[in-house]
Chain A
Amino acid sequence: MNEEIDEYDIYHQDFTTVSEWEVFVARIEEVLIDWRLSKSTMVKHSVENHAKKWFTKSEEISYQGQKFTLSYNYMNCKSKPESTEESSDKSLLVEIQDGLWEATTRFMDDSDESPFPVSNWFGLKQYLMLYPNVALVEGSLIKLVMSSLNIAFANVDCGVPLFVKIREHWQHTYLGFYEDNEYKISFDTIHLKRISNQCSHLTGLVGLFKSKIASPVALDAVVVSTKFSYELKDLDAFAWGQQTQSNEFLSIDGFDVKKLIELPFGCDKNPTKSVLLNAIWPKFRECTIVESSTFSDIDPLMAPTWTLTLKMRENINFQLSELIGKVMELLDNSYLLMDTLGLSKSLGLVNPLNKITEAPITISKLVKAAMGHGRHTSEFKGPISDELLMPLLYYIFPDAVEDGTHIYPPDLKMEFKQDGNGSKLCSYVKSSPEDCLVWRLSVTAAKLHDAGGLSYLAHLWYEFIQELQYRWEMQIPVPGIAEGTPNARTCLLHQKLQLLNCCIKRTIEGNVNTTGHSSEEEFFDCSEGEGAEEQPPWDRPVGRLHRLGEATLKNGAPLYVPRTQDPAPKTEDQLEEDAELMVRLGDDAKASELRARMMSASLLSDMEAFKAANPGAELCDFVRWYSPRDWKSDDGGALGERMLLPGNPWVEAWNVARPVPASRQRRLFDETREAEQILHFLRSRTVSGVAELLLPAIIRAGALRATQEGAIGSSASVGGVDARRTFEIAVRELYEAEKEACRMLCRRKVLGGGEEGQALDAAERARVLRAAGGVLPAVARREFTLRVRDATAPQLMRAALADDITIVGAFTERIVCL
């Protein structure tokens, strides 16, 4: 920008006094040239019919302190980059004229999704729009702007019709034009709040149309199409049968858990505001039907075509979106969730140093229930009554009760990546297996939050963690969680629970080992090893897994693969932390070395296990198993070049490694520490933190619900965006899906399976007429399209009459008289 101004100064300042108006014109020209819209430089556009989508480019322009936005709106087209096909003057004009003619098959209140209605009125595939920020009302200013545009248009030899928005912003009034060497098309709009007598009927409009054309030769008959719309407001006939859900489950005894945990969907009341019945006469000559101030031929019952359009209510509440929206709001709340219950202090969350050592003594509800009500512990009493809470907890932890009503599906697996076909709604939100514990917890939490507010959510969360704590202490795995180590393709809460299960499992195994056959193990290994005949006890091989093929150590003994410790399972936030730590070290050689050392814990452990399993082994033997490409067969085994480099972390680690079998090594994975950390992590979340943990499953469960209701996924993939933003996108998509599903339901109810805007057959016409009570109400809106092809070009005028009247016209005149 600055550069441009400098240049400008140099070239212009000294010679002329440029008026503000000239600058305005020049600026418009500049923008048009920038967008390559002059007829000679325009890229040939070929609009594909299937996916019509509008795009917009825009620039700010100011004139006399008034700001304008000049925008170029065009339908998506495959613009072949360097297609040399010349878009001649003629083809552009013909395209516009064809569009005009074609536009008459649609009506003015149709929408083509473009930002302004002009494209629909006049059948334009592209147009420029100058939109003033403050309404252009004053006549002289409008004229001035129009002339400026005329000049700019001519100077650039622009190839796209140019419009200005005039009058008040709420009025859809636009002036526009298009011009080439021979013809000029003017696009006019008139909007009147009251309908003048002449324009109130077809005959008058035809007269007006003819006078506008002012043709010296006799015209063909004007071709008219018209649409009369009747608004049917009493919709009882189209019975609305959506059941509404209430929160009554909170007070009743003997409620149904299923009902309580089901996500609501759709809108609570009839979203249809009214139904428009359109009686359409697609095409007739001006004299065949008469409608004048005194007489009318028009009888809607005789119209060749009837269609229905639905008018939806504004501001309808969509139940699912509302429910999720309430959870989304929590993302802005950065207080500790346990504060809501006033528990932060007793849980040791306020001072992080207190930690869990003096942990809460309150015990899990489920345990208490199992033990009967005999014991009285001074226990925390939350806002949710036990009668409600218990069934919910049994639903989330179904293994705590023996009736087996809500057991989890046996094989909880994340479906593998979508195999290309059919993207699912919101599938980019990482979640957990369908109907697993995380889903149940999340959906229940959302419903409780919806019904009872944040304290209900907090209470459930509290009880949930109490139960986890109990399960950790008693070594009972958490149900409804996928097997194995944390799966990075699932949401964080699921990963945390997977990790907790890993801890629990590890403890169980550990207990078995110490009580069971810890000493046995060594003998077992020993007897299996064939070469272990006369080894002294300190050199007895320990912790062998199996032989590595026929491989031998350098000293000739068979090479055994040792039992090893698995690397510590980690959740994605821990991995991110690790990565961040490594990144923070920088990327120079020293940092690199430090990283290698950080990473070598598991290398060292493997080396020690190897040494224990293969007494007398050398580094080259280890390498033969571990990194075979760095092993050379010369001389019974030798190290490859890379392993001989000085300062080699492999050599260093080998030198300090002692022969210790994996079973006696320091654990790489400290399950007690990990488990306590997980519990503390969950307990010390802020409100927004908990919402973030719960939202993935809520959204995906909602998406599943929407899909069951017939919604279709649209988006492909959203990646590389932070969590919150992903939620926002997903929630938006769900909202659209829910809205669309409601619309579809209305359509089904009202249209009986037909499409909106589709012509009704005789039976449907009878049905609608019956629903309307046999008689149509007074006409709500009338629309006429008048068109004629004269010697020059197609001429077009359209009028829409309701309480007010809008008349638009496109008239072509010859500039050069022959």
Chain B
Amino acid sequence: MDSTSCKIMNTIDEEVMTGEAKWQKDAADQNFDYMFKLLIIGNSSVGKTSFLFRYADDSFTSAFVSTVGIDFKVKTVFRHDKRVKLQIWDTAGQERYRTITTAYYRGAMGFILMYDITNEESFNSVQDWVTQIKTYSWDNAQVILVGNKCDMEEERVVSAERGRQLADQLGVEFYETSAKENINVKAVFERLVDIICDKMSESLDSEPAMLAGGARGQRLTEQPQGSNNPNCNC
């Protein structure tokens, strides 16, 4: 009956949100509201590093040194007045590195699973990678399937249709991209951030109420002002 209980719930929800970032928050760098850890995975030489550099530095080099183990870049983006710091981990695709890289899956909130549209084998490995994610990541990690190098149309061996079908079958979203021509690179990251935000507000909603008192807190999706964009609520 206490009308303040709803207030309390609101602050608790906020606490969850900041708790999210808290454990990863670097003491020196408080310049963000949330931090998301993302991982780019996929077979060797499908263009993971190039993709990341295109997004983080807006640069393209036709060849990067084959990644040894794992590396990362940071980029801060704005989503709905909130600074979201993306810590994007770039992994080595070689078989021998599996054990090392899968160790970093834990705690990742999103995965970009990449194949090369000019390389059949990399496409055939997608299912394996999905299994890896299922085995080693958090339950609610989000995945986007990406077919890279779509600028190389004349060498294409995996049609966009097949990519889309596989994505449907796996229940994930799908993009064809080109790090070289800067096609859909930003879109993939933005979409991934959006999906993660959605998922976060969803899981907050289903979280058992923490305090006695009937009223549940506001959902994140209900901004008092009436959000313009129904997709992102962070």
Contact = CB atoms under 8 A, between A and B. Distances in A.
A632 to B, nearest CB: 12
A725 B104 CA distance: 22
Contact of A567 (B20, B99, B140, B200): B99
A647 B66 CA distance: 12
B153 interface: no
Interface residues of B, number: 66
Nearest to A129: B3
B14 to A, nearest CB: 13
A20 interface: no
A188 to B, nearest CB: 19
Given A71-B3, A630-B44, A641-B63, A56 B68 contact: no
B96 A626 contact: yes
B78 interface: no
B100 interface: yes
Given A626-B96, A630-B45, A55 B68 contact: no
Interface string A628-670: 1110000000001111010111100000000000000000000
Contacts of B184: none
Contact of A722 (B2, B22, B226): B22
B68 A600 contact: yes
Given A34-B224, A596-B71, A579 B206 contact: no
Interface string A571-584: 01001100100111
Contacts of B226: 36
A53 interface: yes
A720 B200 contact: yes
B218 A56 contact: yes
B87 A428 contact: no
A34 B103 CA distance: 48
Interface of B: 1-7, 16, 19-20, 22-23, 26, 43-45, 56, 62-74, 87, 94, 96, 99-100, 103-107, 109, 119, 134-136, 138-140, 200, 203, 206-210, 213-216, 218-219, 222, 224-226, 230
Interface stretch (A113-121, A367-375, A525-533): A113-121
23 contacts: A54-B216, A56-B6, A116-B1, A428-B139, A575-B103, A583-B87, A587-B56, A596-B68, A600-B68, A600-B69, A602-B69, A629-B43, A629-B45, A642-B63, A642-B65, A642-B66, A645-B65, A719-B109, A719-B140, A720-B109, A720-B138, A732-B208, A732-B209
Interface in A52-88: 53-59, 69, 71, 73, 81
Contacts of A599: 68-70, 100
B184 to A, nearest CB: 23
Nearest to B138: A719
B225 A650 contact: no
Nearest to A488: B106
Nearest to B210: A732
Contacts of B23: 722
A606 interface: yes
A728 B214 contact: no
Nearest to A606: B96
Contacts of A718: 203, 207
Contacts of B103: 488, 570, 575
B94 A626 contact: yes
Given A56-B6, A57-B222, A715 B65 contact: no
Contact of B215 (A115, A630, A719): A115
